[in-house]
Structure 1
């Protein structure tokens, strides 16, 4: 909680909302469902039609539950940071004892405290799974649990109640068991990530292929597909082809296409073209265009040009097509983009096309000027698209234009975007100015030679 801000918009950033939600989630875990919802109802009733701040929530919770919550609000809202846990476990067969050691390893200072929190430990046995609740209050604590046989796995905070960073080293066998058998999604995701360095192991790769195809939750499949995409061989390619074609979740199909960019085969090229033509997800189509550039670059031009006419959310398809055409350095592409710009277009689409045209014809002052004009658009998304295009182009003259725009920009996010763009442009000038000058000179010379060649061809035709 911070009462110092330059603009009210600063209080509604990408940090406030996610952490606010996580703090409420942890509060529910600490209180339990019955008391949590009783407290929420009381808070809404006593504060209806009133302005509130953080203290009002704490007081309402204490009134409704009888529990003092100063400690909770102090560590999670009035201090910064989060706990960083290092956890390990060991089995004592003689004593039938599972020993779990939990360490808090974050740097404790005026900003970040030593945290006090409840936590759950999952102990999976061959015949059952136990959930044990513990209280963490010290830098290092060891907990003992009596069970009849050695666990197949132990998971810390399996339901992911706590905002934290977790380090929990495990064997290959335990990670495979956790990835394939645990009922908690977060545990399965953690297990997939934990197997990254062992993905080439035959036992691991076989399990990853199975999870990538069959896990019930899309986020687990996504993580597994990400690792399968780094494998070699026909089995991995076949799995990626099946997933890119048939997975119900577009983000998983998209990740499969990322992996297929490493497999330049006829069936891969055919599936990628099919995705471009018929996948219902704009983001999958955009990824398929990028994939096509990697596995069939020489034959990608027509698909890229056709994609220029396809509208999509945030112009993701257009951006992918333009990136590919810029990479091909096809002179006819610049003429096609210029022709599309003659049509009546939505502002964001126009800004993206201008950015592409500026990269296709670097050094063209008129195009760059038209792109700079988009920085003054009344639409924030157009200004953002123009800023991104200016950075991608990297022309030194854009620095002064962005500085002038900064003085007019009223949105704090817009100001940040401009500042980041200026920093990138200045870094690029510092690191690549001499080389860029040589490149521009070569491009101008190439344009002159093309013009001379066309003139000679016209003279020859007239004879």
Structure 2
């Protein structure tokens, strides 16, 4: 599962609002509820489904033949998860005949009395005929998975213009049981066969291999998908829709991309690295891709980022990027890598409980670093790793263990600890044991536990077996402990004694002292001497001899430590670090320090040097750190920025430079901005449009209206929409509303929410106002699991306030109708919020 990135949106909320939301959920009884692994009374063996869809009701009629066996102890009963279904028949199947069984159903679980007592390992098959009604099930999602009704009918009656009719499923965490009676726990594994009857115009996708297709006389077609290797029920998948299927291969296995037809031409530009990814991950793990095929499908209105259903990954519609978006780079590539790595970590070996979710998600998260490092170089991998570390630190999750057996809801496990922190812990583990041992241990873990479920100790045992080292200290500290070190690092040079003392203080709250094996590198010029040391106490001092005073002492020389650091080096030290230590984080730390000292000519020199860094990410970062209020910096940076804006090979860096040039407010750049508005990169075009607005607002509004006639996404649609909103021209409503309405759930759409509401405040046409409010409300309800309902309602309240202020000079009847309508929508939102 790859989460949506909207968690970042919380950073803009007022502190008072966040405090108010926290006070609304005071229940802490869960802190005493131990979340054990689900007991295995009966084990799933095989699941066969035969389903038909009722598009008019958003129902699914199904037959399920479920083969099970008592895990160990004899039993005469079976309990299946079956949420919100109509149960029509329950029977035991013996050969070609079936006999009805007694059962009790509470709308949530199906309790069945078997026909006899079955011994441990003795198989039996039950038949259940049922109707799934997902839209009528009352379930709650989370910030990671914003809904949990399992089976989704998208535009089933075709009533929404420009939206395809689709069906897709989302099983994680325990929502497969909304459409398939099962034991919906991650420690269950079963083979399956899913037979779908659908309108013949649609294609289908499920787990495993498509073994047959039959055309029916009523205009439908029946597709039979078989999955011959066991996997967890939450990984079951069904997808139906009018897709183009773009075919690829990996070592003779099918690799397919299911996209909406307009994206067929660019499907391989989006997903085309998949075969290379499969080969790369297979090589480093020493475990060949384990399944019969790998397909990826894009679903409209998907409730998360993406989901690793076995052999059939589902992606949010943001994956579908047009050719101009791809000029900036494939923004979905890390998600593609993430979900693919789950086919090993999560699908082949599955966490036995949600408490151990990190065994799935930390590996998928870290796979993004591994892919970037392999494909685009170490700087790219380090940048990905650092970004994820910052995501964890900014989440303020220091009190949460990585593996935790106490949580308020299983959905709460899908957070920056299970993902980001877990990935960084793997990075430290790799650094500590070395690449060879790291990947050999992963191989042992996968081969020992394949087709099974595992807990964190299984991973520890694999590392101990390979390295010959006791790893309990590492697991106890990082897997079964909370927090991270905060370090203050000081240096004392004694030229008489020819020694440097390095003092490292752990300043995090509490008494915990982290044990940290780290490298301390000492530089004289380009020459480096590495000292491997262990930090074990809250304060440690290390002494190193020298013949001449070092130019740099670099603590955490490998730059792999998960920590916050206050590194008390001098500017000269950081300049040397940038030039000679050379890793991504070495250079970034130096840029950060220099950026805080831009009155110093040496710091300025470093900033200008960084504008030409070999890695595009640091070039753009350095541009953003320039102090253009400093006249010296502004003057000296100008020709460099102008050169970058026109000639940097990376579009996103050119865009950042254009944004910086807009601060000069020089007429000579107007032609550059105007020309760049038509750049093939949406990011360049959108940034140039903003720059032009600063220079000549009327020209920018005219350009926005012109550009709105053509397809636009990314930064360009955000910029032109924002500019049209600022213009206050109600005639632009159709353009603005379409742009906002067409955006998928994303950070970009969230960014437009506030200016869109400001625009609604000046819209006089009641019909248009209602249409705009409906769009805001639809987005608000989709964000309910993020706790953002009060924030969005606050924006709508702002619209009401401005309407009230304008009522003295407006049509009072129309104004009252508008205000009443907004109030009604705010009230409905308060009832829906979690």
Task: Name the TM-score, length of structure 1 as normaliser.
Answer: 0.77
The match for 2:517 among 118, 130, 142 is 118
Cα 1:367–1:201 shift into 2, 3 Å: same
Which residue of the partner structure matches residue 272 of structure 1?
A: 673
Are 2:654 and 1:285 aligned?
A: no
Instruction: Determine helix, strand or coil for the equivalent of 1:261.
Output: helix
CA distance in 2, matches of 1:267, 1:29: 51
- The Cα shift of 1:434 comes to 9.6
Helix, strand or coil for the counterpart of 1:51? strand
User: Secondary structure of 1:85's match?
Assistant: strand
8 Å Cα contact 1:159/1:186 also seen in 2: no
CA contact (8 A) 1:282 1:317 kept: yes
- In 2 relative to 1, CA 236–347 (structure 1 residues): closer, same or farther, beyond 3 Å? closer
1:94 maps to which residue? 496
Alignment check: 8 A CA contact 1:229 1:259 kept: no
1:29 to 421, 428, 431: 431
Residue 438 (structure 2) pairs with residue 16 (structure 1): no
Distance 1:320 1:14, change over 3 A: farther
Structure 2 CA distance, aligned partners of 1:257 and 1:421?
Answer: 36
- Taking the TM superposition and a 5 Å limit, the aligned residue runs for 1:364-383 are 364-374=765-775, 383=778
Partner-residue secondary structure (3-state), 1:262: helix
Q: Which residue of 2 aligns with 1:308?
A: 708
Which blocks of at least 5 consecutive residues in structure 1 are unaligned?
377-382, 388-404, 449-463
Task: Quote the Cα distance in structure 2 between the aligned partners of 1:246 and 1:309.
Answer: 28
Instruction: Find the counterpart in structure 1 of residue 463 from structure 2.
Output: 61
How far the C-alpha of 1:210 sits from its partner, in A, is 2.4
Residue in 1 that maps onto 2:791 = 423
Could you report, residue by residue, the CA deviation over 1:96-146 in whole angstroms, capped at 9, with x for unpaired residues? 21211111000025xxx3210111112111251222211000000111111
Contact 1:158 1:186 in 2 (8 A): no
- State the 1:371 CA deviation: 3.1
| Cα deviations by residue, 1:324-347 (Å, 9 ceiling, x for unpaired) | 111122354346657x78xxx957
Aligned match of 1:243? 644
Question: Which structure is richer in relative contact order (CA contacts within 8 A, separation 6 or more)?
Answer: 2
* Gap change, CA 1:444 and 1:284, over 3 Å in 2: farther
- Aligned equivalent of 2:472, options 31, 55, 70: 70
Q: CA deviation at 1:27?
A: 0.9
Change (3 A) 1:440 1:114: farther
Given candidates 225, 234, 256, the residue that maps to 2:657 is: 256
The DSSP-based 3-state class of the residue aligned with 1:87 is: strand
SS of aligned partner of 1:34? helix
> Equivalents in 1 of 2:708, 2:763: separation in Å?
20
- CA separation of 1:72 and 1:424: change in aligned 2, threshold 3 A: same
1:32-55 deviation digits (Å, cap 9, x = unpaired): 223222322211111111111212
Q: Tell me the C-alpha RMSD between the 2 structures.
A: 3.2
Question: Which of 567, 573, 587 is the aligned partner of 1:168?
Answer: 567
CA contact 1:358–1:368 (8 Å) conserved in 2: no
* SS of corresponding position for 1:236: helix
Q: Deviations over 1:221-276 (max 9, x none)?
A: 22321223624343322221211222223332232233222111133222222221
Cα pair 1:310 1:318 within 8 Å, conserved:
no
Partner deviation per Cα, 1:340-393 (whole Å, 9 max, x = no partner): 78xxx95759x97998498164354322322344468xxxxxx5xx33xxxxxx
Segment of structure 1 superposing worse, 140-149 or 194-203: 194-203
Q: More displaced, 31-40 or 435-444?
A: 435-444
* C-alpha deviation, 1:196, in angstroms: 2.1
Partner of 2:810: 444
Kindly provide the CA deviation profile for residues 400-423 of structure 1, in whole angstroms up to 9, marking residues without a partner as x: xxxxx4xxx6xxxx3234x32423
Q: 2:587: which partner in 1?
A: 188
Deviations 1:11-35, CA, capped at 9 Å, x for gaps: 3344422222111111112222232
Match of 1:456 in 2: none
Shift in CA distance, 424/86, structure 1 to aligned 2, threshold 3 Å:
farther
Deviation of 1:294 (Å): 1.8
Residue 728 of structure 2 contacts residue 759 of structure 2 at CA under 8 Å; is this kept in 1? no
Q: Could you tell me which residue of structure 2 aligns to residue 461 of structure 1?
A: none
Corresponding residue SS for 1:179 = helix
Distance across 1 between alignment mates of 2:490 and 2:473: 27
C-alpha distance in structure 1 between counterparts of 2:526 and 2:579, whole Å = 16
SS in 2 for 1:362: coil
CA distance in 2, matches of 1:82, 1:66: 26
User: In structure 2, what is the equivalent of residue 399 of structure 1?
Assistant: none
Query: Residue 129 of structure 1 corresponds to which residue in structure 2?
Result: 528
In structure 1, which of residues 106, 115, 121 is the aligned counterpart of residue 508 of structure 2?
Answer: 106
Describe the superposition over 1:163-210 as per-residue Cα deviations: whole angstroms up to 9, x where unpaired. Answer: 100001222222222233332120110011012221133332233112
> What are the ranges of 5 or more consecutive residues in structure 2 without an aligned counterpart?
1-402, 815-834
For residue 60 of structure 1, report the CA deviation from its aligned partner.
Answer: 1.8
Rounded to whole Å, the distance in 1 between the matches of 2:676 and 2:558 is 36
- Residue 296 to residue 123, structure 1, CA distance change in 2 (3 Å): farther
Aligned length: 401
1:302 positional shift: 1.5
1:451 aligns with none
The aligned residue for residue 39 of structure 2 is none
Q: 1:158 aligns with which of 557, 560, 583?
A: 557
Distance in structure 2 (CA, Å) of the matches to 1:356 and 1:423 = 14
| Cα pair distance change 1:246/1:69, threshold 3 Å | same
Q: Which of 156, 172, 178 is equivalent to 2:577?
A: 178
Give yes or no for contact 2:441–2:462 (8 Å, CA) kept in 1.
yes
**Structure 1 pair 15/149, CA: closer, same or farther in 2 (3 Å)?**
same
1:221 aligns with 2:623: no
Alpha-carbon offset, residue 442 of structure 1: 6.4
